Structure 1
Amino acid sequence: MVKTRTFKSGNSVALRLPKALGIPAGKEMRVREERGRYIVEPVEQAPKKIDLTGIYGSCPDLRPLTPEEREFDPSPRVWDDPDWPGWNR
């Protein structure tokens, strides 16, 4: 348990959280009151999405792969060859 005090910050009342709690600076937090107690918890960040609206239509021949096109033959590797000199080390 950590004790701290509120302080005035502009027109707000602020609460300083000790660094030992491991909360990074700038982390968005949610404060709620339940039966006279204040609960401070981090806000879950939504996963970031990539906006592709600016490039839509710039590649008119681009299309999704069919399931048959998604299957690839395994690539031959040099170490799969029994005559590979690396096996003789």
Structure 2
Amino acid sequence: MGREYIAKSFKSGNSVAIRIPAALGVEPDQEWIVARDDSGDLLIRPKPQAKAKLDVSKFWGKAKGLKVPGRRDFDERPSTIAARAANATK
């Protein structure tokens, strides 16, 4: 185990907080998982980073001739069917 530091807990709103000494190299705004084991010790470990998601918003319109398929997972509203029929007769 490395060097030990003393930290004092304090009230912060409706929570209790503990300051982490800067010498431990903890970066601000990092998320942590905090748990208590069977012996009562607090365990603190970094929260795993979420996998990066692919942003497809800039791909819209890039594939010429690609048509978005119509949704078939719901029944159309009667007003939509009537509007389509009215437009078809014009």
Q: How does 1:50-89 map to 2 (within 5 A)?
A: 50-52=54-56, 54-61=57-64
Q: Distance in 2 between matches of 1:57 and 1:37?
A: 52
Query: Structure 1 stretches (4+) deviating beyond 2 angstroms?
Result: 54-57
Q: Percent identity?
A: 35
SS of residue paired to 1:20:
helix
TM-score by length of 1: 0.60
Q: Distance in 1 between matches of 2:60 and 2:13?
A: 49
Match status 1:30 vs 2:36? no
Q: Distance in 2 between matches of 1:26 and 1:57?
A: 34
Name whichever structure is richer in helix by fraction: 2
SS of residue paired to 1:27:
coil
Structure 2 gaps, min length 5: 65-90
Q: How many pairs are equivalent?
A: 61
Structure 1 gaps, min length 5: 62-89
